[in-house]
Amino acid sequence: MSIFSDNEYIRLVKTILDNRFPVSSPKAYVHTYGCQGNLADSERMKGMLAELGYEFTDDINESDLILFNTCSVREHAEDRVFGNVGNLKRLKSEKPDLIIILCGCMMQQEHIALKIKKSYPYVSIVFGTYHMQRLPEFVYRALSKRERVFEITDTHEAEIVEGLPVFRDTSYKGWLPVMYGCNNFCSYCVVPLVRGRERSRDPEDVINEAKRLISEGAKDITLLGQNVNSYGNNSAFDITFPDLLRKINALDGDFIIRFMTSHPKDCTPELLKAMAESEKCAKHLHLPFQSGSNRILKAMNRKYTREHYLELVSIARELMPELSITSDVIVGFPGEQYEDFLQTLDLVERVKFSSLFTFIYSKREGTAAAKLQDPVSREEKGKWFKELLDLQESISVDIRRSMVGKTYRVLAESRVKEDSSLITGRTEGNVNIDFKADESKIGRFVNVKVTLAENLNLKGELI
Ligand code: SAH
Ligand code: SF4
Ligand code: F3S
């Protein structure tokens, strides 16, 4: 572990920026693709940018620095980044001093970083997932020497850097990373290749950050890791994830705790018990199953069976009857047949997820699955996908209808775009309800009675 403090580049960058922007602060536009882990990283990069003297803007055209924190989990995510970077060419030609930064998971892949180097000469700084803490140095090099910076080396002994400043967009919601990396090597997944091996944060650092979040007004804290259940493994700390959950639950304050993601192979009855017994822990479990077919689960290297998954669901529901379960699923893994897909539909039918994140398989360079034959056409996979969406929609609608007449504690989050008299809030089970209320309720827990279910939308009233 190393600690970020008194970074000499902060002072150097500040001096340059004070000269270049004597009247008003320079503006930075930060956009994050991908998962909550990336959002948490962006909050730290924004923290560093704020210390350098940048203010943040939502208008890319008025920015002096643009940072895209990228995701490589599916091809679609990568295409969006390339499209958006392509669009910056014009802006850079109008503003030669504009600093364009690409970082995160996509950049950790050599073939992508090389493509950026060659074909996007107006990108100023490229760095991968191991060098975020060096952002002030990179900005200094780009500003002072106008040099292009490329830093994508895989340090292998990736360290955890503590003490980075954090800039949060909302005070009532907090992302709290507990571990980084992944050791699971699911055969379709690029994450272990771009994020490196699992490493857990010191529990003291996690708990101190939780305390800080609570004192700054966080009401909804999500503990983050690609597989939170392996928290503490291979570390110097004698602590498990259920222990950590209980410790955070014991902190003073009015807040709820969520966590993601839990891998079914390591989701133990002990974790479910800790959840059930921790009154601040949201009764919501995100437990990705990926496929309902044992044959495909094996090919995915997921290391559990559908029977094990269903058993976990039944233990969890016995301990927490009100539990809401959500999941991730992939359609069209190489070699998947319609019979396998029917097993996925069957599992969805049995579990009754309150919502489901559905993906069509995307081939990722460097993964084991990329070498497999993939004979089913995109069109056929699209048909299966539609079948799955229809089934899940009918289940989600039924669940929402069953909520009418009941009262839920929700965290009021934001104004509804289409009707500004409404605020949208989220239940512990991660379901949104819209209700009439004024701005002052945002960021607070309120009780809302559900009055109407229109397809997937719930309306309610404050009580
Ligand atoms: N660590 C988490 C998942 C992180 S990635 C877990 O193990 O559950 C988020 C989701 O993206 C995955 O759950 C999976 O459903 C999907 N995904 C990952 N790689 C994919 C690929 N190559 N094609 C399609 N979907 C993918
Ligand atoms: Fe990817 Fe599997 Fe790791 Fe999740 S557990 S990040 S799906 S390799
Ligand atoms: Fe994407 Fe990287 Fe997260 S690949 S899903 S941003 S860990």
Q: What is the pLDDT of residues 267-279, one digit of tens each?
A: 999 999 999 999 9
Q: Tell me the average pLDDT across 192-221.
A: 96
Instruction: Tell me if 215 is assigned to some domain.
Output: yes
Residue 39: nearest ligand to its CA?
3
Q: Are residues 291 and 278 in the same domain?
A: no
Q: Are 16 and 143 in contact (CB under 8 A)?
A: yes
What are the backbone dihedrals phi and psi of residue 183, each rounded to the nearest 5 degrees, phi first?
-105, 5
pLDDT tens, position by position, 234-274: 888 999 999 999 999 999 999 999 999 999 999 999 999 99
Cis peptide before 261 (omega within 30 of 0): yes
pLDDT at 29: 98
Considering its fold, how many domains does the chain have in total? 4
pLDDT of residue 235: 87
Average pLDDT over residues 104-128: 95
- pLDDT classification of 226: cutoffs 50, 70, 90: very high
Report the share of the chain in percent with pLDDT over 70: 99
301 in ligand 1 pocket by Cβ < 6 Å?
no
Q: Which amino acid is at 405?
A: G
Res 294: pLDDT? 98
From CA 80, how far away is CA 451, in angstroms rounded?
39
Is 105 a residue whose pLDDT tops 80?
A: yes
Give residue 265 CA to ligand 3 midpoint distance, Å. Answer: 21
Q: What is the pTM of this model?
A: 0.96
Structural domain includes residue 313: yes
- pLDDT above 80 for 146: yes
| Spatial separation of the C-alpha atoms in residues 135 and 13, rounded to whole Å | 11
Asked if residue 156 has pLDDT above 70, the reply is no
Q: Is the CB of 381 under 6 A from ligand 1?
A: no
Mean pLDDT of 281-297: 98
Of all ligands present, the nearest one to the C-alpha of 262 is 1
> What CATH number is associated with residue 447?
2.40.50.140
* Residue ending a domain, choose from 151, 179, 214: 151
- Own/partner pairs for 54-62, CB < 8 Å, 24+ apart? 54/17, 54/25, 54/26, 54/27, 54/28, 55/25, 55/26, 55/27, 55/28, 56/27, 56/28, 56/29, 56/30, 56/167, 57/27, 57/28, 57/29, 58/29, 59/29, 60/29, 60/91, 61/91, 62/27
Written as six digits, the tokens of 408 are 């839920």
Structure tokens at 249: 């639950």
Predicted confidence (pLDDT) per residue in 38-73, tens digit: 999 999 999 999 999 999 999 999 999 999 999 999
| φ, ψ for residue 199, nearest 5 deg | -145, 135
Distance 35 CA to ligand 3 centre (A): 5
Structure tokens at 273: 């018990």
| Residue indicated by tokens 């008025």 | 62
Ligand nearest to the CA of 75: 1
Structure tokens at 318: 């016995």
In angstroms, the CA 167 to CA 256 distance is 21
Looking at the structure, do residues 371 and 385 belong to the same domain, yes or no? Answer: yes
Instruction: Indicate the SS3 state at residue 437.
Output: coil
Residue-range definition of the domain harbouring residue 448: 407-462
Q: Is 237 in the pocket of ligand 1 (CB under 6 A)?
A: no
**Residue 412 backbone phi and psi in degrees, to 5:** -70, 125
Are 204 and 272 within one domain? yes
DSSP class of 71 = -
207 and 315 in a single domain? The answer is no
Structure tokens at 40: 């948490």
Q: Are residues 145 and 202 in the same domain?
A: no
CA of 260 to the centre of ligand 3 (A): 13
Q: Is residue 160 part of a domain?
A: no
Task: Find all residues with CB under 8 Å of 395, minimum gap 6, and list them.
Answer: 348, 349, 352, 353
User: Residue 225's closest CA among 246, 189, 204, 195?
Assistant: 195
180 lies in the same domain as 55: no
Greater confidence (7 vs 226) lies with 226
User: According to the model, what pLDDT value does residue 418 have?
Assistant: 87
Burial class (CB in 10 A: 0-12, 13-18, 19+), 150: middle
For 220-257, the DSSP string reads: EEEEE-TTGGGTTTTSSS---HHHHHHHHHTSSSS-EE
Would residue 158 count as lying in a domain? no
The Cα 31–Cα 176 span in angstroms is 19
Instruction: Tell me the CA–centroid distance for residue 192 and ligand 3, in Å.
Output: 10
Q: Match 């607070």 to its residue by tokens.
A: 444
pLDDT of 157: 64
In a domain, 159, yes or no: no
Check which CATH number belongs to the domain holding 215 and give it.
3.30.750.210
- Please state the rounded mean pLDDT for residues 121-131: 95
Same domain, 397 and 412: no
Strands 65-70 and 27-32, by their bridges, are parallel
Mean pLDDT of the 95-118 span: 96
pLDDT digits (tens, 9 = 90+) for 372-400: 999 999 999 999 999 999 999 999 999 99
C-beta of 364 in contact with ligand 1 (< 6 A): yes
Instruction: Give residues (CB < 6 A) around ligand 2.
Output: 182, 184-186, 189, 191-192, 226-227, 263
- Both 25 and 104 in one domain: the answer is yes
Q: Are residues 296 and 347 in the same domain?
A: yes
Average of per-residue pLDDT across 108-117: 94
Q: Residue 317's domain is classified under what CATH number?
A: 3.30.750.200
- Residues 169 and 442: their CA atoms lie apart, in Å, by 14
Contacts of 266 (CB under 8 A, 6+ apart): 227, 229, 230
Q: How far is the CA of 48 from the centre of ligand 1 (A)?
A: 29
Whether 162 is in a domain gets the answer no
Mutual angle of helices 135-145 and 8-20, in 10-degree steps:
40
Average pLDDT over residues 27-36: 97
In this prediction, residues 84-103 reach a mean pLDDT of 96
Is the Cβ atom of 196 under 6 angstroms away from ligand 3?
Answer: no
Pick from 378, 402, 426: which residue ends a domain? 402
Does the pLDDT of residue 440 top 90, yes or no? yes
Q: What is the pLDDT of residues 166-185, one digit of tens each?
A: 999 899 999 999 999 999 99
Residue 159 has pLDDT above 90, yes or no: no
Ligand 3 centroid – CA 68 distance (Å): 13
